[in-house]
């Protein structure tokens, strides 16, 4: 993407970002734009650092090079208190839900409100019940997190993420490990919340169908680079073999089925000495 182009309408801009863990380069000079009001998906195989990208955007990790701006502010140059103020306007849905296990559902959703606002208990109650109603779990308010199914936990976490009426939500693998019904309800929720609350959504996922169904724009990342981008339609027709393999789930292709190893026959006939 050309950096000189100004993106008037983007809420998050990632510019020339590089990040490594140990010797492994997770991102190698990538740039991307997240448009306001849209659902942008970031796709790629497991272990390509999609979650890392969300943590970089949230300011929990620091990039080696490049910058990330959210709503015009450079996340990694903010003072701590400003970063915390910015985070109040960003919701994040963790893969595990990250519900606080020592509180029930109601208190979990009320947590950000109690921490950041001085609302009365009765107003908090009203707000919490509204958020729970939005995710369809108002009846589950007295359950503890360990009594929830995975899909319910994620919906509760979603209710908590929208408790402070953020401007954007980051979804970390929202569909992984969900049964078809919960997947369906999450797809529906993400889409409808984005539209009714006027949110901007960033979704990290490797579930092709669900993501393609609701995303407005998709970036496909592999080995630290962006290998494809466009609307779901454009991605489907991408000329890149790699993107094709990813979207169709073919076992062999540019990504090989076999982990690199020496020749199979040689390996079988060798003495089996440790090397």
Provide the binding-site residues for another protein, judged by CB under 8 A.
Answer: 55, 58, 60, 84-85, 87-88, 90-92, 94-96, 98-101, 111-112, 115-116, 160, 164
Residue 178, both tokens: 């969900």
Smallest gap from Cβ 14 to another protein, in A, equals 18
- Is the Cβ of residue 36 or residue 55 nearer to another protein in the bound state? 55
The label of the residue with tokens 């981008």 reads 229
In the bound state with another protein, the residue whose beta carbon lies nearer, of 62 and 267, is: 62
> Residue 74 carries which DSSP code?
E
Please say whether the dihedral angle defined by the alpha carbons of residues 49, 51, 53 and 55, taken in this order, is positive or negative. negative
Closest CA to 113 of 130, 93, 94: 130
Neighbour-count burial for 242-251, b at 16+ CB within 10 Å, e otherwise: bbbbbbeeee
Closest CB 223 distance from another protein, rounded Å: 25
Select from 134, 151, 147 the least CA-distant residue to 105: 147
Nearer to another protein, 58 or 230 (CB): 58
**How far apart are CB 86 and another protein at their closest, in Å?**
8
Distance CA(126)–CA(141), nearest Å, equals 12
Least CB distance to another protein at residue 235 (A): 28
**Of 134, 196, 198, 122, which is closest to residue 166 (Cα–Cα)?**
198
Task: Supply the minimum distance, in Å, between the C-beta of residue 112 and another protein.
Answer: 5
Q: Which is nearer to another protein, 115 or 263 (CB)?
A: 115
Please, which residue, 94 or 246, has the CB nearer to another protein?
94
d(CA 108, CA 103): 6
User: Minimal distance in Å, beta carbon 15 to another protein?
Assistant: 22
Judged by beta carbon, residue 39 or residue 99, the one nearer another protein is 99
Asked if residues 45 and 247 have their Cβ atoms less than 8 Å apart, the reply is: no
Answer for the pair 63, 26: CB distance below 8 angstroms, yes or no: no
Tell the smallest beta-carbon distance from residue 110 to another protein (Å). 12
Which lies closer to another protein via its Cβ, residue 60 or residue 248? 60
Distance CA 44, CA 40 (A): 13
Residues 6+ apart with CB under 8 A from 265: none
């Amino acid at each position: 993407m050309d950096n000189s182009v100004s993106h008037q309408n983007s809420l998050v801009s990632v510019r020339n970002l590089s990040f490594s863990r140990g010797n492994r380069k997770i991102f190698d000079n990538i740039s991307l734009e997240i448009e306001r009001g849209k659902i942008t998906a970031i796709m790629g195989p497991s272990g390509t650092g999609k979650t890392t990208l969300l943590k970089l955007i949230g300011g929990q990790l620091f990039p080696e090079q490049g910058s990330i701006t959210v709503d015009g502010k450079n996340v990694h140059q903010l003072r701590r208190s400003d970063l915390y103020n910015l985070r109040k306007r960003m919701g994040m849905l963790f893969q595990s839900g990250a519900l606080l296990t020592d509180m029930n559902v109601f208190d979990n959703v009320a947590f950000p409100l109690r921490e950041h606002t001085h609302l009365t208990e009765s107003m908090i109650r009203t707000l919490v019940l509204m958020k729970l109603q939005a995710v369809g779990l108002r009846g589950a308010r007295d359950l503890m997190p360990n009594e929830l199914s995975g899909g319910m936990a994620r919906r509760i976490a979603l209710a908590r993420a929208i408790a402070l009426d953020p401007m954007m939500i980051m979804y970390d693998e929202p569909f992984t490990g969900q049964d078809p019904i919960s997947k369906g309800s999450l797809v529906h929720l993400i889409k409808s919340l984005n539209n009714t609350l006027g949110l901007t959504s960033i979704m990290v996922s490797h579930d092709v169908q669900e993501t393609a169904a609701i995303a407005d724009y998709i970036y496909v990342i592999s080995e630290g680079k962006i290998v494809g981008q466009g609307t779901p339609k454009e991605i489907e027709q991408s000329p890149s073999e790699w993107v094709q393999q990813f979207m169709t789930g073919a076992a062999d292709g540019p990504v090989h089925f076999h982990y690199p190893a020496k020749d199979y026959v040689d390996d079988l006939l060798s003495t089996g000495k440790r090397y």
